[in-house]
Amino acid sequence: MNAPAPLTADEVVAALGLVELPVEGGYFAQGYRSEDLSTIYYLLRDGEFSAVHRLSGVEVYAHHAGAPLRFLLLHPDGTVTRPVLGSDLGAGERPQLVVPAGVWQASEPVGGWALVTTVVVPPYTDEGVEFGEGELGEAYPGYGAEVRRLCGVVEG
């Protein structure tokens, strides 16, 4: 049996009915919602990023298709981690990632588009998200330029 031809980012957006996500960037659609949790399809195109933000609840990511998704996680204790969400286990990628409540996060695909699902507990609300400002980089020495870029600050 022949494998299906890979889809383009535009085809995935159309197939799942994704819409552009303001402020954070990327494309999304809610998959499921209850009083306990919500699931969200989320796609980033090559060259796009999910802007620095933090949630008041836990967010669990699962990789579905496309390129790996590289994260920048800024923990409240000042540590920084760089997990990669994807299917190449031998390269250190993992198909699932848990981002604890209150951890600043940003992500970008590595070499193409990436499709993931997020599970947010408790369910996502606009009141439960905070977006980072460029000054956040000062709290994480060595990561200032990257944090500013992922906050959408244009330097030059």
Q: What is the pLDDT of residue 1?
A: 63
Q: What is the pLDDT of residue 153?
A: 80
Q: What is the pLDDT of residue 156?
A: 59
Phi first, then psi, for residue 40 (nearest 5°) are: -135, 130
Quick one: average pLDDT of 83-109? 97
What does pLDDT average to over the chain?
94
pTM of the model: 0.93
Q: Residues 66, 8: contact at Cβ < 8 Å?
A: no
In angstroms, rounded to a whole number, what is the distance separating the alpha carbons of residues 79 and 87?
Answer: 25
155 pLDDT higher than 80:
no
Give, in order, the Cα–Cα distances in Å from 28 to each of 2, 42, 91, 129: 30, 4, 28, 16
pLDDT band at 103 (very low <50, low <70, confident <90, very high): very high
| CA torsion angle 154 143 61 65 (round to 10) | 60
pLDDT band at 4 (very low <50, low <70, confident <90, very high): confident
Q: What is the pLDDT of residue 134?
A: 86
Domains of the chain: 9-150 (2.60.120.10)
